Structure 1
Amino acid sequence: MSAIRIPGPGTNVAVCRKARDLSQVALARRAGVSVSLLSKIEIGDRALTQGIAASLAQAMGLTLDELLGTEPVAKADEASLAALNYAIRRFDIPDAPPSHPEDLPCELAELNEHRYRTELGAVLQKLPGVLAKSTNYAHATQSPDAWTRVADVYSVVYWVAARFRWMHLAELAVMKQQLASERAHPIAATVAARDEAGAFLNSGDFAGGLAIVDRAVVEAESTLEGRDRAYGLGILHLRGLTLAGRIKDKRTAQQHIDAAWRVADKFPEDIEDHGIHFGPENTAVHVISTTSDMEDHRGALNTADDLIRNGLTLPATRVGPLHMNVGRSRLALGDRDGALEALEEAWNIAPEMARIHPTSQELMRVLTSLHRRSNPRLTRLAKRAGVPF
């Protein structure tokens, strides 16, 4: 078993290190991690977290997405991706507006439903048409409502590109989203800032992302009112706590956690606006992830147990990663069976996301590497994931 090279982001570390003629000692020293931890990550005895990955990437002159590895474009998605790039390129070259603009809100809602179910292929298939029609209609009417819709569609483009770690596309989407938000309602600029900070997050520049969040919070406090203000500040603080957790800045993370909970108290239950959920449940999901990032795995599991026991109303796009984070905390505490159970749940809830998510890939890599005996459940899951085991 130990001779099999299980695919996953952690496997890329040794490949990139050797390509730069670095020893484990040299890379560990540059990245500020122990040689023992680096060795365990490379051989598959420890999962590579995105915080550690960012440190290793920076030490090798890479971005986080470059180290984690970009997901290849599936043959079935090539035409959709080409059409999407064409629609993005023609942002300022409007075509004829759609003949039935009244259908646009429904089309965007359907697109987001695919997103919430983590149906990435369906999102890619429908995105070009929705984006082109929304953009053409916005140019024809120049209404804030129409431009807000364009910004919301670009938020979906950012989301799907970030999932596949196509960061050039994600960053381009954020740029267009910001341009659209300049002609839209003020809340669109807040959502765009949240996604811009996400691009920093996905590239491993956590401090830069925090600077974006801080600036956006100040702007939101002065430009937004009522429900938009609470919602906008809420999604910014969720992004902030995630970024702070990745660099283990406990003070800043706690500040964003406290602020997010204060805003979440204004919502009896989670809401969905502009394609993004916010409320008590999603705040708890983000806190669990950040608590795991800061290696308080027992605390993360206690919070997760309470949340799951009370029942979840969030969509698969949030619940799938929740179980992945439960799995990594259980694995960190030595509970392999519990980690496998959580990974199975993530695959059952969000299979398309589980296949490409770095946390899911690392859980699979480490579990298959550590198991030296037959495990039918793990074998079935590995087969489903296309992993040799």
Structure 2
Amino acid sequence: MDDDRTRGAGERIADARKARSLSQRQLAENSHVSLSLLRKVEQGSRDATPALVAAVARALTIDVTALTGQPYDLGGRHLDPLHQHIPKLRRALTYWDLPPDGITPRPSAELVRGAEHAADLRRSGNHAQLAALLPALLTETTAAIHTAPAGREREHAYATLTVLLFAAHSVTYKTGYIDLSTLIEERTHWAALASSDPVLGALAAWARTTSLLQAGSYNIGLQLLDRAQADIPTGREPGESVLRMSGALHLRAAMLAARSGDSDLAHDHLGSARRLSTQLGDVDHDGGRYQLAFGPANTGVHVVAAAVELGDGDEAINQASQVRITSDLPKIRACHHYIDLARAYLWTGAKEESLRCLTTAREIAPQQTRHHPTTREVVRMLIRLHHRSNTQLTRMAGWIGHDA
């Protein structure tokens, strides 16, 4: 058995700290986290939150993935088929300012349909199928940009490419290819700018905050989202797509603020999102061309997520009781909600509820659940806390490659 699969972020933090000849107190001070929390994480008696991992990685000047162990399932009997598509995706992304050789693109309408299919796969969390589809579509759409006449036709091709790049960003980030997802953030900004659509520009800004969240650069992320809000053309009577994008930006800003520990700012942004949601009606919308889902259900799950980011498991569970997960909410968001709840229940000592939430997340979006660092952290803690054998937990651990 590959022992690295069973190692938690705490063990990796301890190894990295010792390699730099730092004491726990020195690392805690440099990371601006409490010494007692760091000790518990290293000892394995407390899970490592994304905020803590980001702070420690920054202090140690290493990548977050060195502490999370991503990408997962790169070899052995748990090899994930997704990984075989990543080299092709890397090659497809080398084409942007120069046209791919020997590619004759299909008509624009067919490429748009391909991008819509990719967006559907992204929303459902089907990482392997999405990674298989994207390389050819990205290459073909890039070729279409270089053959299209200047003006609206070329801008339309750039808009299609923006949607594809956003899907590529999602799958690479969620599966731990952070270097690739960061590159895609830059490409997404470039394509959105060339599309001359400021709402797509806001989408690109939202994507860019992903790497800022992971790096712990919360204030920069908030500034970027403030600028994106200001750049959206509201006018006297803004359309629904503009209002939905504005709402989605507020939800993202709430996550940045919560992870930074600023509860007041997080609740301000959540309040703005609630007001926009009420204005738009009682049904969530998948975002259409602009991708980001927004509505009452998504706002509700972000309220729960903010409580988790702020370290308040009881409040997260309380808020979750008021959330109604509807079929309009994309599977990736619903899945993330139950992963967040699994952590909240873990903190309150409700082991069975925590495992139930992970099981629900797996039923909704199995690939996303399997690749999420929180899943592994929670499973590792549940194994530690269960003094008797638990068949369901053993199966979950085996499924993610963490043999109990």
TM-score normalised by structure 1 residue count = 0.92
Identity of aligned residues (%): 29
Q: Could you tell me whether the CA contact under 8 Å between 2:286 and 2:328 is conserved in 1?
A: no
SS in 1 for 2:355: helix
CA distance in 1, matches of 2:46, 2:84: 38
Against the structure 1 CA distance between its residues 193 and 386, is the aligned structure 2 distance closer, same or farther, given a 3 Å change threshold?
A: same
Q: Which residue of 1 aligns with 2:298?
A: 282
Superposition pairs of residues 346-385 of structure 1, within 5 angstroms: 346-385=361-400
SS in 2 for 1:47: coil
Superposition pairs of residues 168-247 of structure 1, within 5 angstroms: 168-184=179-195, 185-220=197-232, 225-247=238-260
In the TM superposition, what whole-angstrom CA distance separates every residue of 1:327-358 from its partner, at most 9, and x where no partner exists?
11111111111111111211222221111211
Q: Could you tell me whether the CA contact under 8 Å between 2:284 and 2:298 is conserved in 1?
A: yes
Q: Could you tell me whether the CA contact under 8 Å between 1:281 and 1:312 is conserved in 2?
A: no
In the TM superposition, what whole-angstrom CA distance separates every residue of 1:154-208 from its partner, at most 9, and x where no partner exists?
1111111111222221121111111111221221111001111122112322222
2:141 to 128, 134, 153: 134
Offset at residue 75 of structure 1 (A)? 7.2
CA distance in 2, matches of 1:125, 1:200: 27
CA distance in 2, matches of 1:37, 1:124: 38
Against the structure 1 CA distance between its residues 177 and 26, is the aligned structure 2 distance closer, same or farther, given a 3 Å change threshold?
A: same
In the TM superposition, what whole-angstrom CA distance separates every residue of 1:89-128 from its partner, at most 9, and x where no partner exists?
1112224442343212221122122222211111110011
Offset at residue 153 of structure 1 (A)? 0.9
2:182 maps to a residue whose letter is: E
Q: Could you tell me whether the CA contact under 8 Å between 2:5 and 2:401 is conserved in 1?
A: no
The size of the alignment, in residue pairs, is 386
1:88 maps to a residue whose letter is: L
In the TM superposition, what whole-angstrom CA distance separates every residue of 1:27-78 from its partner, at most 9, and x where no partner exists?
2232233333222212222111111222222222234344323305567445
User: Which structure's relative contact order is higher, taking Cα pairs within 8 Å and 6+ residues apart?
Assistant: 1
Offset at residue 10 of structure 1 (A)? 3.2
CA distance in 2, matches of 1:288, 1:125: 33
CA distance in 1, matches of 2:247, 2:278: 10
Q: Could you tell me whether the CA contact under 8 Å between 2:192 and 2:200 is conserved in 1?
A: yes
Q: Which residue of 2 aligns with 1:41?
A: 41
Unaligned runs of 5+ in 1: none
Q: Could you tell me whether the CA contact under 8 Å between 2:108 and 2:157 is conserved in 1?
A: no
1:156 maps to a residue whose letter is: A
Q: Could you tell me whether the CA contact under 8 Å between 1:64 and 1:204 is conserved in 2?
A: no
Superposition pairs of residues 50-69 of structure 1, within 5 angstroms: 50-69=50-69
Offset at residue 209 of structure 1 (A)? 1.2
Q: Which residue of 1 aligns with 2:285?
A: 271
Offset at residue 234 of structure 1 (A)? 1.3
Superposition pairs of residues 256-335 of structure 1, within 5 angstroms: 256-268=269-281, 269-273=283-287, 274-308=290-324, 311-335=326-350
2:271 maps to a residue whose letter is: D
CA RMSD between the two structures? 2.2
Unaligned runs of 5+ in 2: none
